[in-house]
Amino acid sequence: MINKTVENVSEALKGVHDGMTFMLGGFGLSGIPENAISELVRLNLKNLTCISNNAGVDDFGLGLLLQKKQIDKMISSYVGENAEFERQMLSGELDVELTPQGTLAAKCQAAQQGFPAIYTPAGYGTEIAEGKETREFNGKMYVLEEAYKADFAFVKAWKGDKAGNLIFKGTARNFNPVMCGAATITVAEVEELVEPGELDPNQIHIPGIFVQRIFRGKDYEKRIEQRTVRQK
């Protein structure tokens, strides 16, 4: 069994440099690769393109990279709760490519599966389809969307083993599985790292073939973006 474990986040991010394209899992603040993001902030990389459902909040998640102007382009489905993201987008400081949420997931999955492109009905007849090939199937129009190309994918899982097999927990599953294997190198950070054979094969969401590096993360803050409680 191949051991894909690396000692820490610094070792996991070896090879990253300015101008790269990164995929980052998560939805809002749920399931984001906190350790990888903190390391990217520490390394002070510049001119980055980031593919992520959104960009965290002002002072957490990808918002930390936006604060330091490390990101040149964001490919996302919405701005979310990040006022700095909104400000940079409206001022023209940040190149933003807004993509329908399902299309974003499907383009990641296409890259994961080795497909160069997909056809989707989402966005046909809107600005999303401008300049793109369209085609009719069974009386319905579709837009050709090319699969994403990324240098690194950073994902967060609940449990993983040293062979790279991953289990996600609850809603933290979100975009993480479709980004595994969708980049040249996939780095997985996990809360619990176990020996091969300790995970129930029937519970594994992503097989280790899609992961190149895995490490046990630490100091997870796990913020709640919008806390909603029931009235007593």
Chain segment 181-218, per-residue pLDDT in tens? 999 999 999 999 999 999 999 999 999 999 999 999 99
Q: Would you list the DSSP string of 90-137?
A: HHTSSEEEE--HHHHHHHHHHHHHT-SEEEESTTTTSGGGTTS-EEEE
Give me the mean pLDDT over the 163-185 stretch.
97
How confident is the model at residue 201, as a pLDDT? 96
Residue 225 pLDDT class (50, 70, 90 cuts) = confident
Q: Would you list the DSSP string of 13-25?
A: TTT--TT-EEEE-
Question: Contacts from 94-97 at CB under 8 Å and sequence distance 24+?
Answer: 94/66, 97/73
Range of the domain at 47: 9-114+148-216
The CATH number assigned to the domain holding 207 equals 3.40.1080.10
Residue 15 lies in a domain: yes
Residue 138 lies in a domain: no
Residue 140 lies in a domain: no
Residue 95 lies in a domain: yes
Residue 80 lies in a domain: yes
Residue 1 has pLDDT above 80, yes or no: no
Number of domains within the chain? 1
How confident is the model at residue 228, as a pLDDT? 87
Angle at 193 between CA 52 and CA 150, to 5 degrees: 25
Tens-place pLDDT, residues 42-54 = 999 999 999 999 9
Residue 57 lies in a domain: yes
Residue 174 pLDDT class (50, 70, 90 cuts) = very high
How confident is the model at residue 100, as a pLDDT? 95
Tens-place pLDDT, residues 108-120 = 999 999 999 999 9
pTM of the complete model: 0.94
How confident is the model at residue 222, as a pLDDT? 86
Residue 131 lies in a domain: no
Share of the chain above pLDDT 90, in %: 91
Residue 230 has pLDDT above 80, yes or no: yes
Residue 190 lies in a domain: yes
Residue 149 pLDDT class (50, 70, 90 cuts) = very high
Residue 155 has pLDDT above 90, yes or no: yes
Tens-place pLDDT, residues 12-39 = 999 999 999 999 999 999 999 999 999 9
